[in-house]
Structure formats: C-alpha cells, structure tokens
Structure 1
Amino acid sequence: MENVAQIFFHGSLNDFLPRHEKGKWQAYSFTGAPALKDALEAVGVPHPEIGRICQNGSEAGFQEALLRHAQVEVFPVVSEKGSQTPGPLQVSVPTPPTFVLDVHLGKLARYLRLLGFDTLYETSYDDQTIARLAQQGQRIVLTRDIGLLKQKIIQWGYWLRSQQWEEQLREVMIRYGLKDQLQPFTRCMACNGEIGEVSKETVLPLLPPKTRLYFHVFYQCQSCHRVYWKGSHYDRMQSFLAQFS
C-alpha cells in the first residue's frame, strides 16, 4: 500500500529542489517504512547538508522510519562560526578542517592550499576514492556532484552552489568559519606538501630572471621542491581576503 508524507525544506536546502517546489510543502509517496535519510535523499537533499529533522513536531534521526501521513520539516546545517545553534544531526568538523575535492575543483583546491588547508585533490579520484579518503582522514568533501554526498560513509560534505572558484572559496570560508584559521604559504599549491621559507641562494638556479631581480623572500615545498614567492597570485588573494575582515 502506498503512503504519503508531507515534507518542507527550510533555508538553503531549497537549493536542491526544482524551482516550482522551493518553499512549499510537497507530497512524498512511499511504500513500506523507509528511513528518513533515504526518503530525503530520494527527494534530492544529501544527508551532510541536513542539520535537523522534525517529524510530526518531534526531533527525529536519520534512521527513524518515515511515518504514514507524517509532516516532516527539514533544516540545513549552519556555519561553524555563525550565530545559529547547530542542529542535533550536525557533527562539528575537526579543527583544523581538512578537505578532499572532486575532479572538477582543481582551482579551488589550489587556493585552499595557498591559504594553508590540507586539501587532497587528484584528477584520478573517483567517487569511491573520495568517500574512502574522507572517511579515513576525517575530511570534508567539497563537490558539485550531489550524488557523491549521498554516500553513507561521508560524514561532512558541502555542495558548492557556484561554478566560479572565487565564489566557491567564499562559500567554503563562510560555511566552515575559516577566516581565523588561515595559514598562507604553508601548503604547496601543486601537491599539498608542507612548505617553508628558504634562502634566495638555495633556490637561485630555479628562479626566472625577473623573479631573481625583484623578489627576495622564497618558500619551497618539502615534497615536490616547487619554489614560491609572493607574486601577483598572493596579492590577488590578499585583496580577496580583505573582504572578510
């Protein structure tokens, strides 16, 4: 016998819904007794984005059964450093946060590393690899693939609304409260290795001619030995970060 429940998604969870269903109660038909997690993900909302569920006015967990004729309200997770109290289903991320990104987010990965965040990214990663790395390393999954976030073993994850890396970085900084955790020039943008300051003489043979002339402070990755200096990309990032001060 087919049953029907009424579901209402609050706030940013409407980003996962078709335009004509945003901000409205919607009827969800089902058979048997599916878990709330499964029902909500069937509608299109991945569990890492959900901070709280109320079924018939009472707090409910992901594994509780969806009841016949139930009224279900679903609330989003909130910013780690925001003024709102996290919902009972929201698990605080480890400090400092670490990340693993899907294959479409190479530029975002580079700039998270520039800001000092341990960020795994390889174009060879498939969904199973990303989920496994997230579970093993207690990492946050950042993705544009909603289906990836529905994998059961992923505890922390965020679906990036924008397709532009600067706006994506803004989203991540706000969602995870990163402003006070920045450590620029401590991670290699290319390989995620740790970098440290080195003398100019040590890396002189590796520098372009104009860089030798105009720059005097250098950093080198301990893993891939790439050399860095505070050039135009650093200036752009400083201007970007000034928006959050």
Structure 2
Amino acid sequence: MAASPATVTFRFYEELNDFIAPDRRRREFSCRCASNATVKHMIEALGVPHTEVELVLVNGDSVGFDRVLGDGDRVAVYPVFEALDVTPLLRVRERALRVTRFVADAHLGGLAHQLRLFGFDTLYDNHFEDAEIVRLAVEQGRIVLTRDRELLKRRDITHGCYVRALHRDQQLREVFERLDLAGSARPFTRCLCCNAPLRTIDKAEVVERLPTSVRERHERFACCEGCGRVFWEGTHWRRMRTMVDALLVQAG
C-alpha cells in the first residue's frame, strides 16, 4: 500500500527565515507533505537551499537530509552556527561548514578579490558556468558563494553560502560573520589577481623589475608563485592594511 501524505510542523531559525514566505517566518507552521517526502525535499520545496542548513532536528533528534517524514513529525531547521561547534550532532553532512576554500559565481568578483586579500583560497572567473562551479566545489571541497538560490539547490553541492548583501564590503562582512572567518584569516598571503600564494622574496632578486621610486623607498617584497607579480608595502598596501585591521577587530 502506498504511503499516505503527511502533515508536518516546521520551524526555521535565524537567517533561514529570509528564504521562506513572510507568513511562515519565525514561527511554527504546518503543511502537507507528499508521501515518502524527505527532509531535503521539503526544506527546498519551502524555499531554503540545503547548503544553507547545518542541523535538522526531527522530533528532537538530529537527522540527515534523506530522513523520510511521517505524519505528525516536528522539524526544526538551523543555519550555520557561528560560535558553537555542532560537529558531534551533524547528520546532514560529514563535517561542519568550516572549510575555508571558496568558489564564487560571476556576480561576486569584488567579494572574491576581498577574500583573497584576507588570505582565503577563492576561485573566481566571470565566465564560470554553473556546471563548472559545481565541479570545482565537489572535486576541491569548496564552499560555493552565490546570489543564485537555485544554484545552491544543486544536489552535488554540500557547502554553500547565499550572499544577501549587494556591495562587496558588506558582502565581506556578511561572509566573515556567518562563517566565522576571522580566526583563520591570513592577510596579504595570496595574490589578488590569480589567487596563488605569495612568498617573501629578497630585494636583489626583483630589483631590476622595480620602478626607481620603489627601489629607493622599499626593502620588503613578496612575489606571487603563480603569475610572478611583485608586491611591496606602498600607499595602496597601507590603505588595505587599515581596512583589514578594522574588519578583523570588528569580527573578532
């Protein structure tokens, strides 16, 4: 005999409410579920990408996305926990969203640039198709950063972050806060242009490539291991340093 449709009570917490209908936000609500509907199916049917979810409790027990819902079940859905390690409770994925490697979609070039400034390995190309973003996320264990909710519903993506803010500085603060990145930031260790690591280099090795004014005023240099660009602590660096320090103090 085929399973009968079930009536299930849901409650979404914190920023997950942004994805659901206004009359269902920050409160319990009941809805009918198709027979054999899973947790993942219903969460996404209600508008929330599964990659935004870190913990699901059904009747008080932590469950995976494949849990089939039954009549009378009560479901609590939680987003990424910033200050609390819930790894022992996780059932929806093998590990918490603490992997600090990213791939950003075509709309987040400014954010990608800022994350590299803070030392985070962040892939970005404004020609990336969705399929390529999914491939990179799966093969390299990257968190997908996007403003496309449907992209985050792709079955193969396990870690993702829907970016709500529109301006790159606000986007950076949002991602820092939601993924608790301040403690793992390593500013000025990655090339802003190609994402490769930087290494300290002796002035003598690059002196012939330096403008005369730089050669006379600076002694410390770094070189990109990918594209070969040379960096020094000039006026632009000092402006970035001020911005970096301010955000780390605020986020810390």
Give the TM-score, by structure 2 length.
0.83
1:186-228 CA-partner distances (Å, limit 9, x unpaired) = 2111111121223445445555565455544222212112222
In 1, are the aligned partners of 2:80 and 2:179 still within 8 Å (CA)?
no
From 54, 57, 66, the equivalent of 2:69 is 66
Once the two structures are superposed, the pairs formed by residues 71-150 of structure 1 within 5 Å of their partners are 71-79=74-82, 82-83=83-84, 85-86=86-87, 87-88=89-90, 89=92, 91-93=94-96, 97-150=100-153
Counterpart in the other structure of 2:168: 165
Provide closer, same or farther for how the CA distance between residues 93 and 59 of structure 1 changes in structure 2, counting only shifts above 3 A.
Answer: closer
What is the rounded CA distance, in whole Å, between the counterparts of 2:93 and 2:177 in structure 1? 16
1:41-92 CA-partner distances (Å, limit 9, x unpaired) = 011111122222233444432112222343322222312xx13635423543
From 170, 174, 178, the equivalent of 1:175 is 178
In 1, are the aligned partners of 2:64 and 2:93 still within 8 Å (CA)?
no
Where structure 2 has 5 or more consecutive residues not aligned to the other structure, the ranges are none
Deviation at 1:166, TM superposition (A): 2.0
Provide closer, same or farther for how the CA distance between residues 210 and 101 of structure 1 changes in structure 2, counting only shifts above 3 A.
Answer: same
Deviation at 1:173, TM superposition (A): 2.2
What is the rounded CA distance, in whole Å, between the counterparts of 1:123 and 1:50 in structure 2? 27
What is the rounded CA distance, in whole Å, between the counterparts of 2:163 and 2:93 in structure 1? 18
In 2, are the aligned partners of 1:114 and 1:189 still within 8 Å (CA)?
yes
What is the rounded CA distance, in whole Å, between the counterparts of 1:186 and 1:94 in structure 2? 22
In the comparison of the two structures, how many residue pairs are matched? Answer: 243
Counterpart in the other structure of 1:241: 248
From 215, 218, 221, the equivalent of 1:218 is 221
In 1, are the aligned partners of 2:99 and 2:142 still within 8 Å (CA)?
no
Counterpart in the other structure of 2:35: 32
In 2, are the aligned partners of 1:50 and 1:90 still within 8 Å (CA)?
no
Which residue identity lines up with residue 243 of structure 2 in the other structure?
R
Task: Give the percent of matched residue pairs that are identical in Structure 1 and Structure 2.
Answer: 35
In 1, are the aligned partners of 2:118 and 2:187 still within 8 Å (CA)?
yes
Counterpart in the other structure of 1:11: 14
What is the rounded CA distance, in whole Å, between the counterparts of 2:194 and 2:98 in structure 1? 21
Deviates more, 1:216-225 or 1:193-202: 193-202
What is the rounded CA distance, in whole Å, between the counterparts of 2:61 and 2:86 in structure 1? 18
Which residue identity lines up with residue 221 of structure 1 in the other structure?
C
Where structure 1 has 5 or more consecutive residues not aligned to the other structure, the ranges are none
Which residue identity lines up with residue 199 of structure 2 in the other structure?
G
What is the rounded CA distance, in whole Å, between the counterparts of 1:243 and 1:93 in structure 2? 24
What is the rounded CA distance, in whole Å, between the counterparts of 1:90 and 1:233 in structure 2? 36
* Secondary structure at the counterpart of residue 188 of structure 2: coil
Which residue identity lines up with residue 15 of structure 1 in the other structure?
D
Give the TM-score, by structure 1 length.
0.86
* Secondary structure at the counterpart of residue 233 of structure 1: helix
Provide closer, same or farther for how the CA distance between residues 106 and 20 of structure 1 changes in structure 2, counting only shifts above 3 A.
Answer: same
In 2, are the aligned partners of 1:185 and 1:219 still within 8 Å (CA)?
no
From 45, 48, 54, the equivalent of 2:48 is 45
Provide closer, same or farther for how the CA distance between residues 147 and 94 of structure 1 changes in structure 2, counting only shifts above 3 A.
Answer: closer
Deviates more, 1:162-171 or 1:206-215: 206-215
